[in-house]
Homo-oligomer: A and B are copies of this chain.
Amino acid sequence: MTGGRATAAAPVAPVAPSVPPETGSGRDAILLAARRAFTQRPYAEVTIRKIAADAGVSPSLVVKHFGRKEELFNTVADFGPAAAELLDAPLDALGRHMVVTLVTYRRTFKSDPLLRVVFSLGNQDERSLLRDRFHEQVTAALTARLPGHDRALRAELLAGLLLGLGATLSLHREGAGTLASPERIADLYAPALQNLITG
């Protein structure tokens, strides 16, 4: 539906802009409003006008920065760079790399690179373009990377481990996970990923 981008084979794009994505300028307010809109509403109901109003800017400024609705969706729904960065390690060190990368990303940018796809499950009634993107850019990329048997199932469970880590850190903002170092979290959590990777 959105075209199959060959994420697994793509060169590693840098995930990190030099400025946190959710603070400051009108551009960032637009991105935040767009992310909310596309995760909480069916695609057909999302309008540039409503996103602009939520961001406190004019519709023309939204179009100037991001183009029309389809382009804006493509910007907001792009899991490709995050997937490339999460997968950028040798197989025997990939579990730990994924945990440290995810936790560090969350702390640096005050935002989770994958978790927004889960919010889209609140719209129970319809197919979701955001979910299609996740399947293509994350699950399929994980599957392509795994050796051995049951690769699709193991990739889905790996995606679950990444989403679950983000979910629990977001749910327990004042909890033990917030105080722990990425390395300590990886000590406890990365073996689960590594076992699914190694098969």
Please report which residues of chain A, range 169-194, place their CB below 8 angstroms from some CB of chain B when the two chains form the complex. 169-172, 175-177, 180, 184-185, 188-189, 191-192
- Chain B residues, CB < 8 A from A115: 121
23 residue pairs of the A-B complex, CB under 8 angstroms, read A40-B40, A117-B171, A118-B118, A119-B121, A121-B167, A121-B170, A134-B171, A135-B171, A135-B175, A150-B176, A153-B176, A153-B185, A156-B175, A157-B185, A157-B188, A159-B171, A161-B164, A163-B163, A163-B167, A163-B168, A167-B167, A188-B196, A189-B196
* Cβ contact of A160, chosen from B39, B121, B164, cutoff 8 A: B164
Number of chain copies forming the complex: 2
Contact of A162 with B164 in the complex, beta carbons under 8 Å: yes
